[in-house]
Amino acid sequence: MVAKRNRKETIEARVQEALQLLKGVGIPVDSRTPRQQHRMALALCAVAKMKPDTPWRDAVVFGGEKPWTPKSRDIIKFWNEHWGENISSGSYDDVRRKDLLHLTLSALVLAAAGKADADPNNPTRGYAINPEAADVLRKFGTGAGKLAATAFVKKFGDLKTRLEKPRKKKGFPVKLPSGATVELEKEGPHNRLQKAIIEEFIPRFVVKPRLLYLGDTAAKVLHLDAEGLASVGLKEPAREMLPDVVVYDEERNWVFLIEAVHSANPISAERHIALEAFTSKCKAPKVYVSVFENRETFRKWITEIGWETEVWLTDSPGHMIHFDGEKFLGPYGNGGKS
């Protein structure tokens, strides 16, 4: 007979081993209270038919001539007889819903061993250790056990990661000239301007559009036509240089470089010079456009707008503001008179 104190220590040591095993297969143990962790460890041991001093190599898995498939009440009885617990048999739902939940979600424990189609409340349904987790338990504490745990997670997934997986944010769809749809990360002032550029500016002012580049403040590059960029002599995109949208008018052989201006980066005189240098090998004449939501926001930037560029306001989509003189909406230099 094991002394009471030694038995308590044996139980605690086995509980800690079981929790280490559960962590090894990606079950989020640390998010639970100490008592919940204790019960989860006991649930694993009961389903594996392990007493406090049973070696891990003797863990019972599903299968064999005398399968061990305890039901919730059987697990409670096993705890009370072998693990020093004093739990009412009426607590069987707590065992199913709390103590066994993560074990079954992780596939470490089969929820209806031999009765895969059993209803959750079916009194004949029992639990068992998944045979594919046999080495995870039976070789626990060895290098082979770690390899088995890694293989198990690779096949069945990491429950902690699955539970903590962030909800995918609903994107902000934009319909491209080709008819395809991409999603900006979210609907914000800057992205609304980009959507307006793609869906309103381009159809109005670009005769035969081929979208070469579309950037996003979060996703960085949403659309890239590398072949199209190369065909007009533009470099691969350098995010600090390219504006938000680059579109090629195949009918007129013009390249539009368009900046959505919410809080920064209108095409100022300085940016115009920098973009001219960056696009110096471009084979097509260029049209520079700064886009604002309305006159009020445009007014904040009007003194910074560079000459020989265009301004478009999304709240007046049929109109353009032209900065300089000999023509309206067209490229300068490089044979671009219209």
CATH number at 244 reads 3.40.1350.80
pLDDT of residue 79: 95
Residue 327: pLDDT band with limits 50, 70, 90:
low
Per the structure, the count of domains in the chain is 2
Quick one: average pLDDT of 321-337?
A: 63
Q: Are residues 142 and 194 in the same domain?
A: no
pLDDT tens by residue, 115-140? 655 555 555 568 999 999 999 999 99
Question: Are 181 and 156 in the same domain?
Answer: no
Compute the average pLDDT of residues 165-192: 78
Whole-number average pLDDT of the chain: 86
Q: Which of 164, 190, 222 is the last residue of a domain?
A: 164
The yes-or-no verdict on residue 168 having pLDDT over 60 is no
pLDDT at 147 over 80: yes
Nearest to 248 by CA among 263, 268, 265, 233: 233
Per-residue pLDDT band for 293 (boundaries 50, 70, 90) equals very high
Q: Which pLDDT score is estimated for 335? A: 45
Same domain, 153 and 242: no
Q: Are residues 9 and 156 in the same domain?
A: yes
pLDDT for 235 equals 76
Question: What per-residue confidence (pLDDT) applies to 3?
Answer: 47
Q: Could you tell me if 83 and 202 lie in one domain?
A: no
Residues 101 and 30 in one domain: yes
Name the pTM for this structure: 0.50
Residues 8, 157 within the same domain: yes
Domain boundary among 145, 164, 183: 164
Residues 150 and 204 in one domain: no
Residues 245, 307 within the same domain? yes
> Which pLDDT value is given to residue 118?
54
pLDDT digits (tens, 9 = 90+) for 212-245: 999 876 656 788 888 999 999 987 665 557 788 9
211 shares a domain with 134 = no
